[in-house]
């Protein structure tokens, strides 16, 4: 447990030992990937899939279909017209965008149960959505893989809610408590390792697995360094957008990752001009 800091309470150190064991033994309780999300992902990677098949798949889940239509008809995506069918939404917005909306609606904070940490999990998912959306913009600006960036960004922090759920369950079972600041510290320490196990068990594409594993230190990524780099930068931009009082966007954009992505000053200015667009899309997806 070399990553565990000194100064933790005995209860927090006990939980840290437990989390470490979960990772090493791969005993993490991984939530089932929603069936529709799994099928949407498979369809997105199938060159023979078409709009009719995607529409039929989403319509098979009435709740999801309603959610997708509400987002598609939001001001973020359709400011001047109202669409009445999934087929119309797919025709107007495209299969890629409807796929992203469906995935965001399927993979959400409700997958995890962590009593006492509901507000934090909501923040985690807001940040995941922000990272996914900034990932697309950053990939486009730096001429990287735009299509993969949304999913990589959406899942980059999937280990965080899983850790909080594990802490809540273990604390209840052992009848112990720890301060929230210690729980959040453990979340920060373990989330990459937890996330790596989750996306591996979900059999996500290698580009997603490497982004989750290496987005914090993209120099260690093997075959998908560019994607990990994009998610690193996108996560920083999402943080600044969500919590501007604590993190200034101008300061964030001085991070070395943007130079590593070979972005020039005018390209960064163009990227920054997308903030209202990203914020509007994020609000539509998380509401």
- The rounded distance, in Å, linking the Cα atoms of 22 and 29 is 9
The number of distinct structural domains making up the chain is 2
Q: Is the same domain home to 48 and 177?
A: no
Q: Is the same domain home to 256 and 187?
A: yes
Q: Is the same domain home to 191 and 134?
A: yes
Q: Is the same domain home to 123 and 178?
A: yes
* Structure token pair of residue 188: 């920060």
pTM of the model: 0.94
Q: Which domain holds residue 185?
A: 10-29+112-286
- The rounded distance, in Å, linking the Cα atoms of 165 and 120 is 11
Q: Is the same domain home to 79 and 128?
A: no
- The rounded distance, in Å, linking the Cα atoms of 64 and 83 is 16
Over its length of 287 residues, how does the chain's per-residue pLDDT go in tens digits? 446 677 899 999 999 999 999 999 989 988 888 889 999 999 988 888 899 999 999 999 999 999 999 999 999 998 877 899 999 999 999 999 999 999 999 888 888 989 999 999 999 999 999 999 999 999 999 999 999 999 999 999 999 999 999 999 999 999 999 999 999 999 999 999 999 999 999 999 999 999 999 999 999 998 999 999 999 999 999 999 999 999 999 999 999 999 999 999 999 999 999 999 999 999 999 87
Assigned domain for 1 exists: no
Final residue belonging to a domain, choices 106, 131, 148: 106
Q: Is the same domain home to 261 and 120?
A: yes
CATH of the domain at 221: 1.10.3210.10
Q: Is the same domain home to 85 and 145?
A: no
CB atoms within 10 A of CB 134: 28
């Amino acid at each position: 447990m070399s990553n565990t800091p000194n100064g933790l309470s005995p209860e927090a150190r006990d939980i840290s030992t437990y989390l470490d064991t979960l990772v090493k033994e791969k005993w993490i309780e991984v939530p089932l990937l929603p069936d529709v999300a799994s099928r949407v992902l498979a369809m997105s990677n199938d060159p023979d899939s078409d709009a009719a098949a995607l529409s039929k798949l989403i319509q098979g889940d009435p709740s999801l279909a309603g959610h997708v239509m509400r987002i598609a008809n939001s001001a973020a995506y359709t400011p001047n017209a109202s669409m009445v069918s999934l087929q119309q939404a797919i025709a107007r917005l495209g299969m890629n965008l409807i796929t992203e909306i469906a995935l965001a609606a399927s993979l959400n904070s409700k997958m995890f149960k962590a009593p006492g940490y509901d507000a934090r999990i909501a923040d985690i998912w807001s940040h995941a959505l922000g990272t996914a959306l900034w990932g697309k913009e950053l990939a486009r600006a730096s001429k990287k893989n735009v299509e993969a960036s949304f999913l990589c960004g959406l899942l980059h922090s999937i280990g965080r809610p899983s850790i909080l759920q594990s802490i809540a369950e273990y604390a209840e079972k052992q009848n112990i408590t720890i301060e929230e600041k210690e729980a959040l510290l453990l979340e920060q320490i373990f989330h990459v390792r937890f996330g790596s196990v989750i996306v591996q068990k979900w059999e996500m594409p290698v580009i997603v697995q490497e982004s989750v594993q290496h987005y914090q230190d993209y120099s260690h990524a093997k075959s998908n360094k560019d994607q990990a780099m994009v998610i690193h930068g996108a996560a920083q931009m999402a943080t600044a957008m969500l919590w501007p009082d604590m993190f200034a966007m101008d300061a964030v954009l001085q991070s070395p990752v943007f130079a590593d992505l070979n972005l020039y000053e005018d390209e960064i200015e163009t990227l920054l001009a997308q903030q209202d667009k990203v914020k509007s899309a994020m609000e539509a997806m998380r509401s």
